[in-house]
Amino acid sequence: MRRFIALFFALSVVIGIGFPLKAQVKNDEVLLTIGGKPVTAGEFMSVYKKNDLKKGEPIDAKKLEDYLNLYINFKLKVREAEELGFDTVSTFITELKGYRDQLAKPYFTDEATIDRLVREAYEREKSDLRTRHIFVKLASDASPKDTLEAWHKISKVRERLLNGEAFEKLAAEVSEDPSARDREANQQHPFLKGNYGDLGYFTVFDYVYSFESGAYKTEPGKVSPIIRTEYGYHLIKVTAKNEALGKVTAAHIFMNIPKNASHDDSLRVYQRIDSVYTRLKNGAKWEDMVKQYSDDKGSALKGGALPKFGVNRMVPEFIDALYKMANDGDISTPIQTQYGWHIIRLIERKRPGTFEEEKADLKQKVLKDGRSDLAKQAVINMIKKESNFVEMPDAVKDFYTVITDSIFSGKWDVTLAKNLTKPMFQISTQRYNQKDFTAWLGKNQRKTEKQKIPYFVDRAYKDFVNENLIRYENTRLESKYPDFRNLMSEYRDGILLFDLTDQKVWSKAVKDTTGLKNFYENNKASYMWEQRLDASIYTISDQKMAQKVRNFIISGLTDDALLKEINVDTAKILKIESGKYSRKENKYIDMITWAPGLSSELPVPPGAVLVFVRKVLPPEVKTLNEARGLITNDYQNYLEKIWVEYLRTKYKVTVNKAVLSQIK
């Protein structure tokens, strides 16, 4: 907690808010110097605005000077920490780097792109799609020849679709998704009926972004253009578009159709579930029907309730039934799926809320999803433009022949590329050549899945370029963004302040028992008890027992004996609290006359309260132990005061009154 207090200037910062000084005062004008080190007007006002100046409030000259005095004390401590070398300690350097890494992250994601993706996700979240697809497999590292062959294959299929052939027929005929066609029974699985390309329902974030976008950009009933994903090429047909079902809690009564069932067997199952449906319509209790008839024994123990799900978690027939239900508690007619017959009861449906309600959750999903790469790429493109990025792409191809499969086991010999020295790209004035890329490859090789060498090299080169572009931009953050520079300065100073103040004030006040005792002895008058009562408070839960308790107290019975006398067996009729009480510390103490003796009965329904005052204590000095927390705090303030006085004599402080006057 003390570290957060010490980082007073740093941790109350909001990134992106600057302070435009009036025209006559420039941000880089020196406002003050401390031990020869300048502090600019912009640096001071950035901190002042964020910590002491309310939004829209004009500058008050007196408040500004008071804050400036506090700021000078702060900077004096930082100056002393620098003089003592605290800024060179490895723990400080590591901690500050950790803060910087976190604070720099927003600068490497394009917020405009993220905002656009969040808004897009919200619009898509409002609808569920049901689609079919035809798939042609293509590895991400496919050769140009294989890519062209796959493209021609999917293109011919699209032509056939546009010429009127049925999507379902072509899916079963040519799709490389094995679920599209019937699969005969074998040792691994029973007969599986094909889905003819039907993927069921889905919504935003259920599939990879490129597939999702292809589907949402296709009108219902239409066929998409050719869509490329990391798995291959797809043609998508949107067969239904519905208002989003959202997250659903539902229950069901399930009746299984046995394997290899005859038509008569299936008919009997239907008749059985239809009779249950009729009984439900006539008033039978859902829980009773579930318990008695459902073959899903796991859910039957919970009234048929299923875990909460979205549209992509259930077969389409199940979802279609839910779309038809208007209200919580509605029950479907019997529905047949590939598993058997169901009667479905809607328990709760949570549809998407307003954009503002969904925004935060959607942003987190966008940042975790592959689509966030678009925001990162936007930043990369910006850096390339600002840094006058130039590349020599042909230099990459030289690595196609010197990289071997050994790199996929992390054992590639970098000397195979010893003759490669050509320049590859340039960022600003910094040129990177093939030797740099070779060294990077050697350092970053690790065990990974085998890929085609050209594909691997191209991806590695792209990562190498992006890494150096980010590094270049990272070195420019302080010079490019004044807010970031001020923020880092505040964090740096705050950490130094904590480390030194802990040594000089906080820990010292705790460990220096002799100093603390001397401080107490010299300031005893500041730690006084006011008039107090030495008393016992008797709380009686049964008012009928109040007189009996009073009589025992008057007779001189001790509190322990009184408790044994009244609280017989397990009864807790009487509670006694004894101690020394100041005013406003206990409501019953404040209700009685402050004089020795037994108070009158204080009615506290259903019982009563009695107070016995042993003594009225006059004002007296608190012992060190009684006021240790307060004394330690005051001792810390005292240590800080004399420390600051020492620092003001050690380091010369000069304020540029002309600049200060202009700020006022």
Task: Determine contact, residues 130/216, Cβ cutoff 8 Å.
Answer: no
pLDDT category of residue 262 using cuts at 50, 70 and 90:
confident
Q: What 8-state DSSP symbol labels residue 309?
A: B
pLDDT for residue 60 is more than 90: no
Closest of 253, 255, 282 to residue 268, by C-alpha: 255
Q: Are both 150 and 236 inside the same structural domain?
A: yes
Q: Are both 293 and 313 inside the same structural domain?
A: yes
Residue 392, amino acid: M
pLDDT category of residue 122 using cuts at 50, 70 and 90:
very high
How, if at all, do strands 232-243 and 227-228 pair?
antiparallel
Residue 217: inside a domain: yes
pLDDT for residue 2 is more than 70: no
**pTM, 2 dp:** 0.73
Distance between CA 133 and CA 328 in Å, rounded?
A: 33
Residues 6+ apart with CB under 8 A from 23: none
Q: Are both 566 and 611 inside the same structural domain?
A: yes
Average pLDDT for 224-234: 97
Torsion over CA: 309, 311, 315, 319 (sign): positive
Closest of 589, 129, 469 to residue 323, by C-alpha: 129
Indicate the SS3 state at residue 576: strand
Q: Are both 330 and 406 inside the same structural domain?
A: no
Closest of 528, 526, 530 to residue 638, by C-alpha: 526
Q: Are both 232 and 311 inside the same structural domain?
A: no
How, if at all, do strands 127-137 and 198-202 pair?
antiparallel
Q: Which of 449, 478, 507 is the last residue of a domain?
A: 478
Q: Give, for 427, the enclosing helix (H) or strand (E).
A: strand 423-427
CATH number of the domain bearing residue 205:
3.10.50.40
Residue 358: inside a domain: no
Which pLDDT value is given to residue 184? Answer: 79
Which pLDDT value is given to residue 260? Answer: 80
DSSP assignment of 234-283? EEEEEEEEEE---EEEEEEEEEEPPTT--HHHHHHHHHHHHHHHHHHHTT
Which pLDDT value is given to residue 536? Answer: 97
Closest of 496, 600, 453 to residue 96, by C-alpha: 496
pLDDT for residue 48 is more than 80: yes
Which pLDDT value is given to residue 11? Answer: 39
What does the H/E/C string look like for 102-113? Answer: HHHHHHHCCHHH
Q: Are both 276 and 229 inside the same structural domain?
A: no
pLDDT digits (tens, 9 = 90+) for 390-423: 999 999 999 999 999 999 999 999 999 999 999 9
Torsion over CA: 73, 75, 81, 83 (sign): negative
pLDDT for residue 643 is more than 80: yes
Which pLDDT value is given to residue 637? Answer: 94
Residue 642: inside a domain: no
Token pair, residue 191, equals 């007969």
pLDDT digits (tens, 9 = 90+) for 347-382: 999 999 999 999 999 999 999 999 999 999 999 999
Domain count, the chain: 4
Q: Are both 252 and 344 inside the same structural domain?
A: yes
Q: Which of 322, 350, 378 is the last residue of a domain?
A: 350
pLDDT for residue 77 is more than 70: yes
Q: Which of 22-31, 67-76, 222-231, 247-256 has the lowest mean pLDDT?
A: 22-31
How, if at all, do strands 532-540 and 528-529 pair?
unpaired
Indicate the SS3 state at residue 432: strand
Q: Are both 255 and 225 inside the same structural domain?
A: no
Token pair, residue 431, equals 């040129």
Residue 610: inside a domain: yes
Which pLDDT value is given to residue 408? Answer: 97
Residue 420's CB: how many other CB atoms inside 10 A? 16
**pLDDT over 90 for what percent of the chain?**
84
Measured CA distances, 659 to 22, 23, 27, 603 (Å): 11, 12, 10, 69
Residue 86: inside a domain: no
Which pLDDT value is given to residue 12? Answer: 41
pLDDT digits (tens, 9 = 90+) for 178-211: 999 988 777 776 667 899 999 999 999 999 999 9
Residue 380: inside a domain: no
Indicate the SS3 state at residue 425: strand
Task: Determine contact, residues 202/128, Cβ cutoff 8 Å.
Answer: yes
Q: Give, for 603, the enclosing helix (H) or strand (E).
A: strand 602-604
Q: Are both 267 and 333 inside the same structural domain?
A: yes
Residue 97: inside a domain: no
Residue 518: inside a domain: no
Q: Are both 327 and 400 inside the same structural domain?
A: no
Distance between CA 151 and CA 153 in Å, rounded?
A: 5
Q: Are both 165 and 262 inside the same structural domain?
A: no
For 435-450, letters b (16+ CB in 10 Å) and e give: eebbebbeeebeeeee
Which pLDDT value is given to residue 28? Answer: 83
Closest of 515, 412, 488, 513 to residue 456, by C-alpha: 412
DSSP assignment of 487-552? HHHHHHHHHHHHHHHIIIIIHHHHH-HHHHHHHHHHTGGGSEE-SEEEEEEEEESSGGGHHHHHHH
Domain of residue 556, residue span: 528-621
Q: Which of 243, 263, 283 is the last residue of a domain?
A: 243
Task: Determine contact, residues 344/321, Cβ cutoff 8 Å.
Answer: yes
Which pLDDT value is given to residue 289? Answer: 96
CATH number of the domain bearing residue 536:
3.10.50
For 570-580, letters b (16+ CB in 10 Å) and e give: eeebbebeeee
Q: Are both 137 and 228 inside the same structural domain?
A: yes
